[in-house]
Amino acid sequence: PAPVLAVVGRPNVGKSTLVNRIIGRREAVVEDRPGVTRDRVYYDANWNGRAFTVVDTGGWDPDARGMAESIRAQAEVAVTLADAVLFVVDATVGITDNDEAVVRILRASGKPVVLAANKVDDQRTEAEAYGLWNLGLGEPFCVSALHGRGSGEMLDAILEAL
């Protein structure tokens, strides 16, 4: 079977937009409003001739369990099912407490993690992503899921991680 990449991150950081960018199709549903409940969805992806499966771990139910608990549960599920994790952060917002809780889970799992600093739509925003080195997850890959900026380098790193 193809190796599995799980996409993890807070609501509204651009996970589904990035999934569409990775698979080259508009299949993942992009929401302007955070916190929409949805099941995990699997997509076939291919980069440089290597096939892999992408899981958009969406599935939020903040009303039932609280946002922090929902985000932690998502991360726990992701590291269990995945060979590697794509951790998506909104570079224009920076790191939140919820992000740090997820980082602890990812680190403890020992699974390879690729860090995507999303919404870097232009050169100017790239400077804001520099602080993400502090997460201790290695190089933040600056991407714009919306425009495609930086996605090639990120995908190269994903293939190395899988």
- The site map against ligand GDP for 79-118 (x = CB under 6 A) is ---------------------------------------x
Nearer to ligand GDP, 70 or 144 (CB): 144
Residues 6 or more apart whose CB falls under 8 angstroms from that of 24 comprise 45
**Given phi > 0 = left and psi -120 to 50 = alpha, else beta, which region is 110?**
left
Q: Which residue has the tokens 């380098």?
A: 153
To the question of whether residue 29 is assigned a binding role by annotation, the answer is no
95 binds, among ligand GDP, Mg ion, none (CB under 5 to 8 A by kind): none
Please work out the total of residues on this chain that contact Mg ion, with binding judged by CB under 5 A. Answer: 3
* Dist. CA 48–CA 51, nearest whole Å: 9
* Dist. CA 125–CA 117, nearest whole Å: 10
119 binds, among Mg ion, ligand GDP, none (CB under 5 to 8 A by kind): ligand GDP
Q: Classify residue 72 as exposed, middle or buried by CB count within 10 Å of its CB (0-12, 13-18, 19+).
A: middle
- The site map against Mg ion for 21-60 (x = CB under 5 A) is -------------------------------------x--
- Contact residues toward ligand GDP (CB under 6 A) are 9, 11-17, 30-32, 34, 118-119, 121, 144-146
